[in-house]
Amino acid sequence: MTGVTGVAGVPATAGEGAGTAAPDAGAPLVRVRGVHRTYGSGRAAVHALRGVDLDVAPGELVALVGRSGSGKTTLLNVVGGLDRPDAGSVHVDGTDVATLDAAGQVRLRRDVVAFVFQTFGLVPVLSAAENVAVPLRLRALPVADRERRVALLLRLVGLDGHAALRPDELSGGQQQRVAIARALAGSPRLLIADEPTGQLDTETGLAVMALIRAVVEAEGMAAVVSTHDPVMIGLADRAVRLVDGRVLPA
């Protein structure tokens, strides 16, 4: 996406994809093969993932569904480089995530993967605009470029009139929209969202999911979203169901 105009005319930031190999044209953006992840040992061991396979194409929105404890969050963390599998392989945008060192993991989360969490994760003392700007500061983007991109992203999520407000001055839905704008700041290739509407009412949650859907289509990124809501699952291109750490056949 480097040099490509993003959503609503937002230019992609420089440095995108640093440290990753160029994927084959038409290849899945995410390719998970035979992934296992176990916590603990012996009789107390929890087998969170048991031989999981998953492909996600660019421009595709995949919903991960399943009961609590089915392995959804573990799979998201493994794909995003927040956790390592015990066995199997995880490739994201041509990079073998499971083999990255600490510096490689930082580059992955800075340049390729963005996260949206149920708890928003905004910095309380920063304004909405300052929260969105955090990833751009980490990239040392020039001030004028940073301010322009932040303004456009806040307009994209419908909060251009709330730029100066801090998180405690925003509703839950508005805070989640700021979190999405922050996730998009670095023009990621993959958006990972773990129950992003879990703390929102149905109407607001649906609006947030519709926003993610629109962003995926416009930017051509991939998105993997865990959710329990059947209405929100309906907005995805497909649903992947996990049961006891295994993906059920489609």
3-state secondary structure 122-188: CCCCCCHHHHHHHHHHHCCCCHHHHHHHHHHHHHHCCCHHHCCCCHHHCCHHHHHHHHHHHHHCCCC
Q: What is the pLDDT of residue 214?
A: 86
User: pLDDT for 125-162, tens place per residue?
Assistant: 999 999 999 999 988 889 999 999 999 999 988 898 99
Q: pTM above 0.85?
A: no
CA angle 136/141/146 to nearest 5° reads 65
Residues 245 and 70 sit within 8 Å (Cβ to Cβ): yes
Separation CA 9–CA 108 (nearest Å): 25
Which runs of consecutive H residues, i.e. helices, occur in the chain? 72-79, 102-111, 128-138, 143-156, 172-184, 202-219, 230-233
User: pLDDT for 185-230, tens place per residue?
Assistant: 888 999 999 988 888 888 888 888 888 888 888 778 999 999 887 8
User: pLDDT for 88-123, tens place per residue?
Assistant: 999 999 999 989 998 998 889 888 999 998 888 899
- CA proximity to 236, closest of 5, 27, 56, 8: 56
**Is the torsion defined by CA of 69, 72, 75, 76 positive or negative?**
negative
